[in-house]
Amino acid sequence: MHGTQGQAVSIDAGRVMERIGRLSEIGKISETGVCRLALSPEDREAVDVVAEWMAEAGMSVRLDAFGNLIGRLEGEDPGAPAVMLGSHIDTQPYAGRFDGIVGVVGAIEVTQTLKDGGMKPSVPVEVVSFCDEEGCRFNKGLFGVRGMLGRLDDGELERTDKNGVTRREALIAFGGDPARFAEDELAPGKVRAFLELHIEQGPVLEAKDRAVGIVTGISGPLWWTVDLYGFAGHAGSVPMPMRKDALAGAAEIVVGLRALATEDPGAPTVGTVGSLRVFPDSRNIIPEHVQFTVDLRDIDLPRRDGLEARLRELIADAAMRHGLQAEIREDTNSEPRYCADWIMDAIREGAAEMGLDAPELMSGPFHDSLAMSYYCDYGMIFVRCKDGISHNPKEYASAEDIGLGTELLYRTALRLCTK
């Protein structure tokens, strides 16, 4: 494989794609669809496969107390702060083959290439497959990376999935150990930089006809769980003015959130209600209780804060009009986090060396990098994905683009290991 100006590529792109294909068979739900929920048997099966690849690449391998799979390739100075690479392999329930997986397989390929070439980095390189980045099973993401950093919230282990299984139960069955949390937290100064390869999950690179991009920062996500409580009654006999219909109130809020997120056409604000539950869930009973999620994101924190305040007013007004009680639980709240200039420079140098024109762009989705930014400097490389589709079996990135992204990851990692 070669770069766009004939620059020889060091990594084995065929091996990268073969491994991505292998993981896509675990939790397969359709020809291209995958469901590999965090801490599930399918997730554990995939972790075991990835652990074998890490060992083949010359790394020592362990599963930590939080369910993170960690591989380490020692450097010439084993006591020096490591360069950490990685992402995640858990998926959404209706997912594609590339989200997160590209970053883990690509990071292993970096160490595999070093081993195959008989090279030893000057500082240690660690590859991490973080546990439960997606957050869809227990309604709160970035669990593994936040655990490693000592940033878990109270009560996180008692969160339940839709089947009533707690995170604690799932984690222990997976091989994690809450009793060892403290000893497996990452001590200060152990990692100097974190670098993540990921598909863009958006349409910018495709619109620019570019294979890879350099991330400048990650939008701050605000996640809520909202409960509206009304009163159940017979759908045929309770007059409309006398109803306390929780679903009617929720509908107003869903539409209102969309209006808030779209009022400034030039802003990158996004707002989503992606999960909604209705009780008693019967066609002839007025809904008494509705629970739904809110996902609000923006790279501009003051603008997001202003929208948050207005959304709270919107929920209060809707509840008052419909005679409801409203409760808001904040699940995630992070400000935007910007990539380190020196890491972006290293990515730029690697792209120039390969003859790649790599545009610079922000990330709307959050990633494990978001949490790592509170511990050390970070950078991200994006790979073009078709039509910007992600969290969908139609998610697609070409072998050529993934190969170029992995090569850029490799060249950047070499620079970070020596700077």
Mind giving me the DSSP string for 201-233? Answer: -SSHHHHHT-SEEEEEEEPEEEEEEEEEE-B--
Enclosing H/E stretch for 378: strand 377-383
Enclosing H/E stretch for 53: helix 41-56
Q: Is residue 200 part of a domain?
A: yes
Enclosing H/E stretch for 114: helix 101-116
> 213 and 240 share a domain?
no
221-242 pLDDT per residue, tens: 899 999 999 999 999 999 999 9
> 88 and 190 share a domain?
yes
What confidence score (pLDDT) does residue 220 get? 82
What confidence score (pLDDT) does residue 314 get? 98
337-351 pLDDT per residue, tens: 999 999 999 999 999
Indicate whether 5 pLDDT > 50.
Answer: no
Q: Is residue 2 part of a domain?
A: no
Indicate whether 111 pLDDT > 70.
Answer: yes
Q: Classify each residue of 228-252 as buried b or exposed e, where b means 16 or more C-beta atoms within 10 Å of its C-beta.
A: bbbbbbeeeebeeeebbbbbbbbbb
What confidence score (pLDDT) does residue 8 get? 58
> 153 and 296 share a domain?
no
> 127 and 275 share a domain?
no
Which of 333, 362, 397 delimits the end of a domain?
Answer: 333
> 76 and 186 share a domain?
yes
Spell out where 12-81 has E strands: 60-63, 69-73
Which of 282, 311, 333 delimits the end of a domain?
Answer: 333
| CATH number assigned to the domain comprising residue 231 | 3.30.70.360
Which of 333, 362, 384 delimits the end of a domain?
Answer: 333
> 140 and 94 share a domain?
yes
Q: Is residue 301 part of a domain?
A: yes
What confidence score (pLDDT) does residue 255 get? 98
Tell me the CA distances in angstroms from 81 to 39, 120, 175, 391, one per residue in order.
29, 15, 27, 34
Tell me the CA distances in angstroms from 315 to 196, 321, 333, one per residue in order.
37, 10, 18
36 CB-near residues (< 8 Å, 6+ apart): 26, 27, 42, 43, 46, 89, 90, 91, 95
What confidence score (pLDDT) does residue 366 get? 84
Q: Is residue 6 part of a domain?
A: no
Tell me the pLDDT band of 2, cut-offs 50, 70 and 90. Answer: very low
Indicate whether 73 pLDDT > 90.
Answer: yes
> 159 and 277 share a domain?
no
Q: Is residue 278 part of a domain?
A: yes
What confidence score (pLDDT) does residue 418 get? 79
Tell me the pLDDT band of 268, cut-offs 50, 70 and 90. Answer: confident
What confidence score (pLDDT) does residue 4 get? 35
Q: Is residue 396 part of a domain?
A: yes
Q: Is residue 1 part of a domain?
A: no
> 254 and 141 share a domain?
no
Q: Is residue 3 part of a domain?
A: no
User: Do 359 and 204 meet the contact criterion of CB atoms below 8 Å apart?
Assistant: yes
Q: Name the domain count of the chain.
A: 2
Supply the pTM of this predicted model: 0.84
Indicate whether 372 pLDDT > 90.
Answer: yes
> 62 and 126 share a domain?
yes
User: Do 290 and 250 meet the contact criterion of CB atoms below 8 Å apart?
Assistant: yes
Distance, CA of 174 to CA of 165 (rounded, Å): 13
> 261 and 382 share a domain?
no
What confidence score (pLDDT) does residue 320 get? 98
Indicate whether 148 pLDDT > 90.
Answer: yes
User: How many residues are present in the chain?
Assistant: 419
Residues β-bridged to residue 126:
72, 84
> 130 and 261 share a domain?
no
| 3-state class (DSSP) for residue 380 | strand
Mean pLDDT value across residues 124-136: 97
Residue 309 backbone dihedrals phi, psi, to 5 degrees:
-60, -40
> 237 and 192 share a domain?
no
Mean pLDDT value across residues 254-260: 98
- pLDDT-above-70 percentage for the chain: 98
Tell me the pLDDT band of 188, cut-offs 50, 70 and 90. Answer: very high
92 lies in which domain range?
13-218+336-418
| CATH number assigned to the domain comprising residue 367 | 3.40.630.10
Tell me the pLDDT band of 129, cut-offs 50, 70 and 90. Answer: very high
Tell me the pLDDT band of 419, cut-offs 50, 70 and 90. Answer: low
